[in-house]
Amino acid sequence: MLPLEVEEFLIYLQVEKGRSPLTISAYRRDLQRYVGFLEDRDCTMSCAQSSDVVAYATSLREAGLAASSVTRMLASVRNAHRWLTAEGVYKSDASLTVESPRLPEPLPKALSEEQVMLLLDSVEQAVISAGNDPFALRDRALLEVLYGTGTRVSEVCGMSFGDVDLEGALLRVMGKRSKERIVPLGRYAVRTLAAWIEDGRPQLVPRHWRSRDDADAIFLGSKGSRLTRQGVYLVLQKRALAAGLSPALISPHVLRHSCATHLLDNGADIRTVQEMLGHASVSTTQIYTKVATERLWQAYRDAHPRAAARPEFAEK
């Protein structure tokens, strides 16, 4: 049983913040564990001190929970204490000075250049085999744009005719927070886009457009409407299987990561990659340099006879 004021906090999350039932269930489990811990210490949330929250965090780590799980559980506790204090239910916030464990920064997943070429060669062969099949033409252009420009799936789905300059080999992209950027189109992207627009897209045009937005879309789905994010995901799964690759390896964001990683691997300037991907800060782009470094270390460990262990100075 949770205290009445904690139940009111959960109602606030559900009604006023619009949190999903799954999120509310997760909050409830986290707070029940926290309340149970406090009860074992003959304490309640209303009288808890920062030392109690620190002890709770320590107990979670000692239980062998992953840092991500500890961080989530402490976030539930912190949010509850903050709201109850702000509402005047509790006199002070016992979690205010308690820090969550620092999570290791995950490296983005990226395909190797060989895997990308296998994927692109496979869809190229599909176009050759199927002739002017509109889906093969669309999928080839879609993959070339995703990998060739590093655009986000939402940006590709939102592409309209006014955004594409095939003669100038440029693409106007509307990114996060409606921030516009110009991205170069490689010769493969230009060629496959031109073939899709000229030969493939007209075959998917419906008798009557559902909206002006659909009529202006570059990429169309099977029913003649603008291609959706889910539609792009299904295309990648289908083309990965056809190429003999695991569908679990490939997603629109993996192709974006692959584009950035391969650019840096081949000597591109990090500021240029930042601008191309639409990152607000270069620190976001710098994570791809870690991928390149890790690949270098892996190649060294796999091939060099004296690379059984990474030297200590490399960790500093």
pLDDT band, very low/low/confident/very high, at 289 (cuts 50, 70, 90): low
Residues 166 and 39 in one domain: no
CATH at 68: 1.10.150
Residues 133-183: tens digit of each pLDDT: 999 999 999 999 999 998 999 999 999 999 999 999 999 988 776 788 888
> Domain for residue 102, yes or no?
no
Could you tell me the CA-to-CA distances from 133 to 126, 140, 233 in Å, in that order? 9, 11, 20
Task: Estimate to the nearest angstrom the gap between the alpha carbon of 135 and the chain centroid.
Answer: 26
Q: What is the mean pLDDT of residues 181-186?
A: 89
Q: Averaged over 262-272, what is the pLDDT?
A: 80
Same domain, 140 and 202: yes
Structure tokens belonging to residue 171: 């693409």
CA distance 151 to 271: 16
Task: Mark whether 51 and 150 lie in a shared domain.
Answer: no
- 93 domain residue, yes or no: no
CATH code of the domain in which 236 resides:
1.10.443.10
| pLDDT higher than threshold 70 for residue 292 | no
Say how many domains are in the chain: 2
Q: pLDDT at position 273, please?
A: 80
Amino acid 268: pLDDT = 78
pLDDT for res 117 = 96
Instruction: Tell me, yes or no, whether 99 lies in a domain.
Output: no
Hey, which residues are catalytic here? 152, 176, 253, 256, 279, 288
Same domain, 130 and 237: yes
Quote the pLDDT of residue 286: 65
Residue 188 has pLDDT above 60, yes or no: yes
Please report which residue ranges of the chain form alpha helices under DSSP H: 4-15, 21-40, 50-62, 67-86, 113-130, 134-149, 153-157, 187-195, 212-215, 229-242, 252-265, 270-277, 282-285, 287-303
231 or 268: whose pLDDT is higher?
Answer: 231
Predicted local confidence at residue 278, as pLDDT:
78
Q: pLDDT band for position 263 (50/70/90)?
A: confident
The pLDDT of residue 296 is above 60: no
Residue 142 in domain:
yes
At 263, list the tokens: 């650019």
Asked if residue 275 is part of any domain, the answer here is no
Asked if the structure places residue 205 within a domain, the reply is yes
Q: How confident is the model at residue 307 (pLDDT cuts 50, 70, 90)?
A: low
Looking at the structure, tell me whether residues 143 and 210 fall in a common domain. Answer: yes
Domain assignment present for 176 = yes
Residue 235 and residue 118 in contact, taking contact as beta carbons nearer than 8 Å: no
- Quote the domain boundaries for residue 25: 4-86
Q: Which of the listed residues 43, 71, 86 is the one where a domain comes to its end?
A: 86
Q: Are residues 77 and 37 in the same domain?
A: yes
Task: Tell me: do 74 and 182 sit in the same domain.
Answer: no
Overall average pLDDT of the 29-44 stretch:
95
Whether the model pTM is above 0.85: no
Q: What pLDDT is stored for residue 211 in this prediction?
A: 92
Please check whether residue 276 is in contact with residue 264, taking contact to mean a CB–CB distance below 8 angstroms: no
